[in-house]
Amino acid sequence: MQDMPSFHLAFPVTDLAATRDFFTAVLGCRIGREDSRWIDFDFYGHQITAHLCEQMPLVASNPVDGKQVPSSHFGLVLEWDQWHARVAALRAQGVEFLIEPHIRFPGLAGEQATLFLRDPSGNGIELKSFRQPQMLFARELR
């Protein structure tokens, strides 16, 4: 995956200081360029930019496996051991999960670990991992 281009994502936030703390202390991101109304973060090699806004847009949710997944969210696909290490670190920090860490499709070809949390402005963030990384874009996971 190192040869893949980095993506850029801009997202709204209502508190830049709380966003800075969350992305650096909780998710381990480095800070790039910044201004009084935005901050660039190194999101595991990808550039994401938090833009200050007065209020957050309404976000719908979608039922997936009996859980309400925010329709608008972003995240990372981590290596299996890295995902489990991140879960342990998040639990040690007392992070509140929107959707608790769990395994989907256990024992099947598309087995994946996933969790959801929210940043201080309410943006949905998913961290996931595939036991078999080549299944990332498989059309049938079961």
Domains in the chain: boundaries: 8-54+61-135
Tell me the pairing of strands 124-130 and 73-77. parallel
The C-alpha atoms of residue 63 and residue 7 are separated, in whole angstroms, by 27
The CATH fold assigned to 8-54+61-135 is 2,3-Dihydroxybiphenyl 1,2-Dioxygenase; domain 1 (3.10.180)
In sequence order, the 6+-apart residues with CB closer than 8 A to the CB of 94 are none
pTM score, two decimals?
0.89
- Average pLDDT (80-94) is 97
Tell me which amino acid residue 98 is: L
Q: Tens digits of per-residue pLDDT, 13-36?
A: 999 999 999 999 999 999 999 999
In sequence order, the 6+-apart residues with CB closer than 8 A to the CB of 40 are 31, 32, 33, 34, 47, 48, 49
Q: Tens digits of per-residue pLDDT, 91-139?
A: 999 999 999 999 999 988 889 999 999 999 999 999 999 999 998 888 7
Note the pLDDT of residue 139: 76
The C-alpha atoms of residue 6 and residue 117 are separated, in whole angstroms, by 23
Indicate the range of 10-14, 66-70, 122-126 predicted with least confidence: 66-70
Note the pLDDT of residue 57: 85
